[in-house]
Amino acid sequence: MRSKDEIGVYCRYMDANLQFIPIMIVGFGASLCLTPLTRQIAMRLGVTAAPNKRNIHANHVPLMGGAAIYIGFVLSVLLFSPPAYLVELGAIVAGATLLALIGYLDDRQHLSPRLRLLVMTVSALVVSAAGVQIRLFSNPLIDLPLTLLWIVALINAVNWIDNMDGLAAGTAAITAGFFLLLALSQGQVLVSMLAAAIFGSAVGFLTYNFNPSSTFMGDMGAYTLGFVLAILAIKLKFAAQPLNVTWMVPVFVLALPILDMNLAVLTRLLERRPLMLASKDHISHRFLSRGLSQRQTLALLYMASAVYGALALVISQVAPDDALLLGGLGLLGMGASFCLLVVMRARRQKAL
């Protein structure tokens, strides 16, 4: 039989690890209920997505679903904020609010890339000032720029994969789900809270965004999702694994947006096109060009995200030597996929 002290410790552990459930429910419920309202508001204001060089839809679609994601995330976080994390949570909410605002303005007026990058950097500085920083080198002159680069890059990476019904929201939900499992395995309350909030909000919106979509998240949603996912990757810590293992965990969880962004950047450099100019050079477009339907492409990319998320989970639990071996295989897989996608694009261009 367990002693009273053991039972007390166990109960406190379970309370800490089950508190994500109401957070997830509130995020899901708020996003689910608010998305139809944001759709109506977007139609009245004329905030719609017109067909362009990156997206594949043929008609104008309401473009304010991201407001539901943002509100669902912020509401669930604020309702269940432990006092110990108020500074960090306050900075995260402030940064997400700034990004949601600039995202809304960009959806309406198409702001310049420089202004958007400036606001992303300011948001990253806000959370960095609150202590959300990469600490690889124990030198702020190196770690701070690395933190800013990581956050800004992830915001744009998630925004860039928002080019097909359900892709960004579904990928964010899968990614947040694995961050939640990883955080729970390490007893990290703040990370599990944030992951649960973003998971619930993304899934609630995905109900309306899955193919065929009736609304898009726009930059409001993509910026919020990318910002929070980048923070989750920074905050996730592993006590039992060395640094040469732990850095691979968030990279594998975020494998799809990271791979897609690097692929798009390389393609635009090779084809001498502006980096920030939207184009059909993303992973989803390459599979669609091979004859796959939107749902088939979506299922394939969801599966890839889930496989790499599961790999990250395994790496976090096994012995360091085994983790290094699995991580090496995972990186080889990403490299092979990258080369295959480059070849697919080259053959397609040659055939046109």
- Contact between 38 and 215 under an 8 Å Cβ cutoff? The reply is yes
Query: What pLDDT is attached to residue 54?
Result: 56
CB 31 within 8 A of CB 169: no
Q: Could you tell me which of 76, 74, 66, 81 has the C-alpha nearest to residue 25? A: 76
Q: Which residues, 6 or more positions from 238, have their beta carbon under 8 angstroms from its beta carbon?
A: 186, 245, 246, 249, 316
What is residue 51's predicted lDDT score, i.e. its pLDDT? 66
**Cα–Cα distance measured from residue 47 to residue 99, given in angstroms and rounded to the nearest whole number:** 17
Three-state DSSP class for residue 1: coil
Q: Which residues contact 133 (CB under 8 A, 6 or more apart)?
A: 140, 143, 144, 147, 234
The predicted pLDDT at position 9 comes to 37
pLDDT digits (tens, 9 = 90+) for 243-298: 888 999 999 999 999 999 999 999 998 888 888 777 888 999 999 988 999 999 99
DSSP state at residue 50? P
d(CA 308, CA 327): 10
By three-state DSSP, how is residue 58 classified?
A: coil
Which amino acid type is present at position 45?
A: L
Per-residue confidence (pLDDT) for residue 280, from 0 to 100: 84
pLDDT at 49: 78
Read off the amino acid at residue 137.
F
Given a cut of 50, whether residue 315 has pLDDT beyond it is yes
Please list, in sequence order, all residues whose beta carbon lies within 8 angstroms of the beta carbon of residue 272, skipping any fewer than 6 positions away: none
Rounded to whole angstroms, the Cα distance separating 316 from 114 reads 38
- The neighbouring-strand residues paired with 48 are 62
Radius of gyration of the chain, Cα coordinates, nearest whole angstrom: 20
User: One-letter amino acid identity for 150?
Assistant: W
Strand partners, 61: 49
Rounded distance, CA 267 to CA 72, Å? 36
As given in the structure block, the two tokens for residue 318 are: 């096994």
Tokens of 201: 């909000």
Per-residue pLDDT tens digits for 76-90: 999 988 888 889 999
pLDDT level of residue 6 (50, 70, 90 thresholds): very low
Lowest mean pLDDT among 104-108, 109-113, 136-140: 136-140
Residue 94 clears pLDDT 90, i.e. is over it: yes
Q: What is the pLDDT of residue 233?
A: 96
Q: Report CA-CA distances (Å) from 131 to 91, 120, 136, 155, 296.
A: 9, 17, 14, 19, 41
Give the domain range for residue 264. Answer: 4-351
Give the pLDDT confidence of 29-42 residue by residue, as tens digits: 999 999 999 999 99
DSSP string across 274-293 = -TTS--S-SHHHHHHTTT--
Start-to-end C-alpha separation, the chain? 73
**Cross-strand partners of 62:** 48
Q: Which of 59, 112, 87 is nearest to 277 (CA)?
A: 112
Q: Are 31 and 69 in contact (CB under 8 A)?
A: yes
Nearest partner of 202 among 313, 70, 304, 99, judged by Cα: 70
Provide the residue count of the chain: 352
pLDDT at residue 303 in the model: 97
- 3-state class (DSSP) for residue 211: coil
Give the total number of structural domains in the chain: 1
C-alpha 24 chain-centroid distance: 16
Tell me what the mean pLDDT of segment 128-140 comes to. Answer: 90
* Res 209 pLDDT > 80: yes
3-state secondary structure of 61: strand
